[in-house]
Amino acid sequence: MTSQTSSTPLAGRVAVVTGASSGIGEATAEHLASLGAKVAVLARREDRLAELVSRIEKNGGTALAIAADVTDVQAVRAAADRVKNDLGGADLLFNNAGVMLPAPIEELAADQWQRQIDLNVTGLMNVIGAFVPQLVQAAAERGVGDLINTSSIAAQNIFPNFAVYSATKAYVTHLSRHLRTELGPKKVRVSAIEPGIVGTELQSHVTDTGALEWLAGSKETIEWLTPEDIAHTVGFLASQPARVNLQQVTIMPTGEAT
């Protein structure tokens, strides 16, 4: 194992990042690599992953690209096998793939409801199911493992027209708290990160006119968080002494009230 220093506190660790082709996932993969971790990056867009791996390697890091859709359970299990074979198994999982598609419930946008549930809930569970055995094994061998799930401030607060998205994120936060009670005794820390509004591709998937207007107005009045802000938070969580588990971290733009 590579020895840790203050500049590379994650040396010797193996991180998996889902939703890594853009935004928070992309920024976090680069940051974890800069802290010394070997990083496996998962997303559907193979070309974006190749560019990301190239940048990480150019900066002296080690990265592995795996093109996979987290809603495909067999693809995720195959990805876990590859991480085990190529990198020795994960001890840090940043479970970040997700989608936000707000709309008034009376629009009955059932396809969008299902897409959010499939990705934000079922996809999350597919990844947990595939990688938790590696986290538990790594924690037993090395003394620490990390499962960090991307939730949202919407898990706590009320936003009209965001009901389904918010409900999926409430699932993520509540699940994380339960998993912590199961995995904590096995030295796997579980954390949920609940960001306020972050400037990512997430907003570009929104089709509802009212939500788009609200987002545009928000951007005029508030300086949004950046993906790098979240990346540094993930790095901070994973760099704490093994005895320290921040179970739930809410990170807000200074100007965002709720």
Q: Which residues are catalytic?
A: 165
- Cite the beta strand spans of the chain per DSSP E: 14-18, 38-43, 63-67, 92-95, 145-150, 188-195, 248-251
Strand bridging mode 188-195 / 63-67? unpaired
Buried b (16+ CB within 10 A) or exposed e, 36-73: bbbbbbbbbeeebbeebbeebeeeebebbbbbbbbbeb
Question: In the numeric block, which tokens belong to residue 246?
Answer: 């921040």
Q: 20: how many CB neighbours lie within 10 A of its CB?
A: 30
Q: 235: how many CB neighbours lie within 10 A of its CB?
A: 19
Closest CA to 190 of 127, 248, 122: 248
In degrees rounded to 5, what are phi and psi of residue 25?
Answer: -65, -45
Reduce the DSSP state of residue 146 to 3 states and report it: strand
Contacts for 211-218: CB closer than 8 Å, 24+ residues apart:
211/102, 211/103, 211/161, 211/162, 218/256
Reduce the DSSP state of residue 37 to 3 states and report it: coil
